[in-house]
Amino acid sequence: MESEEAVPPDRLIEVPRVIRARSERQAMDWSLVLVSQGIEVALDREPTGNAWNLLVAPADHRRSLTAIRQFRLENRGFQWRHELAGSGLMFHWGVLLWVFAVAMCFQIQGHLEAGLFVSDAVRAGGWWRAFTAVWLHADLGHLASNVAVGTLFIGLAMARYSAGVALLGALAAGAAGNGFGLVFRPGGYIGLGASGLVMGALGMLAAQAVPLWRAGRPGTKVVLMGLGTGSLLFVLLGVDPSSDVLVHAGGFLGGVVAGASAALIPDGRRAIASRISAVLFAAVVATTWVLALR
């Protein structure tokens, strides 16, 4: 009779514990929460339906559930943030305040021409025009186009990162897009419009899963899928020959950087980051318009 061989502890294979999520979006949100807490997590999609599983080590299971429970408590009851029915996507209706702001700027645009992105004036030191120009539009059709696309992308970005972080990141990306166009376009020209800011919001959404690089191959796949999907949407919406492709490209790239940076904010610091970002956003808007209209 053969004797049984003892298996050394280092050869034992731990069976991961499963945490089920209702959708890819929820799985991604929860994965980011766990990664921010230093918990290794893998993603696995169920063969049927839209359900996803988060796989964690048994030793991390209880801590993972606690982190996810805290995340859900912090996001419960926030009336501006709701799930789009049947999509699994969270949307922040506070974006309507942005829509109202750009619409009001369009109504009084005749008094705001000092905020136009005049390339010669910017080169002479009027840097604030890179920020003020994102609030102005050439005509009603231009405004309607940016509002239609911007409402979706900015609303999704606000739900993902918080209103303050998303608005500040998209504004910075829009200004970067104007600067990008200035660098690569010689000669004098006048620019205006929120399309760079809107592409910045798209870039932030494309980069939201960047922290999942640390979750191994499944996480890397999600990151690449997000960047690829965002890039495809950029090509479809931002490369119209009749539009300012340079500004769009600069805004999208700026948004990717802003989104990746925002996604790396530790979960415990998101609330304070949101408040600080909201104050900075308001301060940048107010300061740049004061400089433009002085």
- Integer Cα distance of 153 and 148 in angstroms: 9
Q: Give the model confidence (pLDDT) of 229-268 as tens digits.
A: 999 999 999 888 778 899 999 999 999 999 999 998 887 7
Kindly state whether residues 288 and 230 are assigned to the same domain: yes
pLDDT at 59 over 50: yes
**pLDDT averaged over every residue in the chain:** 87
Residue reference for tokens 């200035």: 182
Shared domain for 255 and 174, answered yes or no, is: yes
Q: How many Cα neighbours within 13 Å face the side chain of 97?
A: 9
Domain co-membership, 145 together with 286 = yes
CA-wise closest residue to 30 among 65, 76, 59: 65
Return the percentage of the chain with pLDDT > 70, whole number.
90
Together in a domain, 42 and 104:
no
**CATH code of the domain covering residue 35:** 3.30.70.1530
Q: Are residues 68 and 144 in the same domain?
A: no
Q: Is residue 120 located within the same domain as residue 20?
A: no
What is the residue range of 229's domain?
90-293
Look at residue 85 and tell me if it is in a domain: no
Q: Is residue 144 part of a domain?
A: yes
Alpha carbon distance 77, 87 (integer Å): 19
From 47, 76, 105, the end of a domain falls on 76
Q: pLDDT digits over 92-139, tens only?
A: 999 999 999 999 999 999 899 999 999 999 999 999 999 999 999 999
Per DSSP, the three-state class of 21 is strand
pLDDT at 77 over 60: no
Beta bridge mates, 17: 56
Within-domain flag for 83: no
Residues 25 and 135 in one domain: no
DSSP 268: G
Question: Tokens for 114?
Answer: 């000092």
Q: What are phi and psi of 68, to 5 degrees?
A: -65, -40
How far does the chain reach from its first CA to its final CA, in angstroms?
96
Is the domain of 235 the same as that of 131?
yes
4 part of a folded domain = no
pLDDT for 10 beyond 70: no
Q: Is residue 2 part of a domain?
A: no
Residues 104 and 168 in one domain: yes
- Segments in the chain forming alpha helices (H): 24-36, 61-74, 95-107, 119-123, 129-132, 140-161, 163-184, 195-206, 217-238, 245-263, 270-293
Total structural domains in the chain? 2
171 & 57 share domain: no
CATH number of the structural domain spanning residue 139? 1.20.1540.10
The CA-based dihedral angle spanning residues 92, 97, 98, 104, taken in that order and rounded to the nearest 10 degrees: 160
Give the whole-angstrom CA distance, residue 263 versus residue 207: 8
53/111 same-domain check: no
Domain identity same for 228 and 204: yes
What's the whole-model pTM score? 0.75
